[in-house]
Amino acid sequence: MPAEAASSGGGAEPPGAPRERRRRRGRARARTEALLHTLKRSRRVKANDRERNRMHHLNAALDELRSVLPTFPDDTKLTKIETLRFAYNYIWALSETLRLA
């Protein structure tokens, strides 16, 4: 018993009460199902927005890369992986040309 009294800070409350208070220390209040649903929905919407922005930036960067790569038929749009592979090979070819010159 002395160990429980020392850990509860005086022992004025029943033994179950301090544990309940400790468990909720990080939260201001208990969350209801509706509030949890709203929070999950807003987090998902924000995550979707971040992913959409990330993809827009990635696609814009790939478009810029495509604009500086020489392609034979000008109306052909390279896929993402083709663009990266072509850019790698083009940079390698340019560096080999510089090395040999």
The domain of 58 spans 21-100
Q: What is the CATH number of the domain that holds 90?
A: 4.10.280.10
How high is the pLDDT of residue 75?
Answer: 77
Tell me whether residue 13 is in a domain.
no
Tell me whether residue 55 is in a domain.
yes
Q: Determine the Cα–Cα distance for residues 6 and 13; give it in Å rounded to an integer.
A: 12
Q: What is the pTM of this model?
A: 0.61
Q: How far is CA 35 from the centre of its chain?
A: 23
List the alpha helices (DSSP H) in the chain.
2-8, 16-23, 33-68, 80-100
Q: How many domains does the chain have?
A: 1
**Percent with pLDDT over 90 in the chain:** 60
Contacts of 86 (CB under 8 A, 6+ apart): 69, 78
How high is the pLDDT of residue 99?
Answer: 95
Are 78 and 71 spatial neighbours (Cβ–Cβ below 8 Å)? yes
The pLDDT tens digits for 8-48 are: 555 555 665 555 555 555 556 678 999 999 999 999 999 99
How high is the pLDDT of residue 71?
Answer: 82
